[in-house]
Structure 1
Amino acid sequence: MIIERAYAHLSSPEEEAWPWAVPCVRQFLDEGLRFTAPVTFLVGENGSGKSTLVEALAEGFGLDPYGGSHDWRYASPRGKSVLGERMRFDAAPGRGRRMATSWSARKGFFLRAETALDALGREGFAPDHVSHGEGFLAAFRGKFLHAGLYVLDEPEAALSFSSCLELIGHIHRLAKEGGQVICATHSPLLTALPGADIVEVGEHGMRRATWRDLGVVDHWRRYLDDPHAYLRHIVEP
């Protein structure tokens, strides 16, 4: 692992202002977030704040907030977010300690679903003549190679079922080789990775959960069992 805990301090946040009004951000300011496994999934509805957290974590580690690797820090015109500017880390022993104290030793990649291929292109890594999903997979195969901090924001967006399974394999390999992955996702496939820590984000703030107890897993299970039970409230006969 690279980091054991992330935290941020703010003397007097405006409680009604974004992002401080988001429940998970308020809890993060109060308690921080401890990482207990090499792979952590943040799961929650749209607007729950999970992407806000992972973007700030990437920024705090020095990854380009637009998306990209540590070597391309701030290659885009975007600056740090108000939460990213305040992000601090407690390093894990060994490799994590070295990366925390030496800027040049830091390795990693921030993958945002909406900017991934453009960010890869700026780094000279944009495979031609492939689909969006294949481009994502090429990134995983070509950029997720070394131990470091890999922050992912909904990487499943462009991936099929089988491609998600391949991504799980890449994530598992990184974890075994000393890397650390923090991933915001809606995917019940990804979150089923054995040994991963799952943090459910919502109006309650943040809480640890098992895969079987996740709301998204329950909804998918019910929907696949009987789609009409959901669609009857949405689609007029």
Structure 2
Amino acid sequence: MLIERAYLDLPTGTGAAEDGWPWTVPCVRQLAAEGLTFRAPVTFLVGENGSGKSTVAEALAEGFGLDSYGGSAGYKYASSREASLLGGRLRFDPTREGRRMVRGPRTRRRGFFLRAETALEALNGERNTQRLSQAPDEMSHGESFLLAFRERFAERGLYVMDEPEAALSFSSCLELVGLMDELARIGAQVVCATHSPLLTALPGAEIVEVGEHGMRSVEWAELGLVDHWRRYLSDPRAYLRHVLASG
């Protein structure tokens, strides 16, 4: 692991709920008040749409020196986006192994930020700088994700993913689980915002549930998404009768 805790370096009085977005998001308020402690090499952020999990993931990536648009660490930002309010003020308590990378210049940092909605353009940027062996825009969406996982997720660093399962089949998700496990074994760290019960089943990973309560650590079997998928696959009609006109 590289990071033990992430926290916001904010001026006194900043971050009250009445200050508007993003402080109205419960998980952001908790991040500002308490920080986020990492207890395992792989951390999953799980929550409904709008819960703030992607906001936290992006801030972690940006604070570490990964382009918030997506891509690698250790070089000038590919996009012209300015630092966000959260990412620009995020700070880290590194582990002993991560101290040199976190506290040194950005050129020492290693890792990758993959976000589903901007992945293709970011990966083409990786190809343009010879960091990928093939052109992602000549492949399917899922194949380009797997190419990045195989070729850019291969060394000690921080790897942040925002809903990577969006482009992946069942078997490809299993391959990603194996990759996450391998990254943990070599001393890297992974933070993944996801809706996938398959990914979050990785043994030894910490699952942080994000919602109106803020953030809390939970077990896989306690996740609402796991319960819903189990019940849906057991009896789809029990759910579909509420959403289909014929029901």
CA RMSD of aligned residues (A): 1.1
Q: 1:68 pairs with 60, 71, 79, which one?
A: 71
Amino acid at match of 1:70: A
Alpha-carbon distance, 1:14 to partner: 4.6
Larger displacement relative to structure 2 (96-105 or 139-148): 96-105
**Residue type at the aligned position of 1:5:** R
The match for 1:154 among 163, 181, 191 is 163
Q: State whether structure 2 residue 104 is matched by structure 1 residue 102.
A: yes
Q: CA deviation at 1:72?
A: 3.7
Query: Which structure 2 residue ranges, 5 or more long, are not aligned?
Result: none
Deviation of residue 73 (structure 1)? Answer: 3.8
Alignment correspondent of 1:20: 23
Structure 1 residue 100 displacement after superposition = 1.5
Q: Look up the match of 1:91.
A: 94
1:112–1:153 Cα contact (<8 Å) kept: yes
> Partners in 1 of 2:117 and 2:237 — Cα distance?
31
1:67-216 equivalence runs, <5 A: 67-94=70-97, 96-103=98-105, 104-124=107-127, 125=132, 126-127=135-136, 129-216=138-225
Deviating more after overlay: 1-10 vs 68-77: 68-77
| Aligned 1:1-12 pairs, distance under 5 A | 1-10=1-10, 11-12=12-13
The CA deviation at 1:101 is: 2.0
CA distance in 2, matches of 1:101, 1:27: 24
Match of 1:227 in 2: 236
What is the TM-score normalised by the length of structure 1? 0.97
Cross-structure match for 1:47: 50
Could you give the per-residue CA deviations for residues 58-99 of structure 1, whole angstroms, max 9, x where no partner exists? 0100100100111344210111111111100000112x0111
* Conservation of the 8 A alpha-carbon contact between 1:63 and 1:73: no
- Number of residue pairs the alignment of both structures matches: 236
Q: Per-residue CA shift, 1:189-237, capped at 9, x if unaligned?
A: 0000000000000011001000000011011011101111111110011
Q: State, as a whole percentage, how many aligned pairs show the same letter.
A: 68
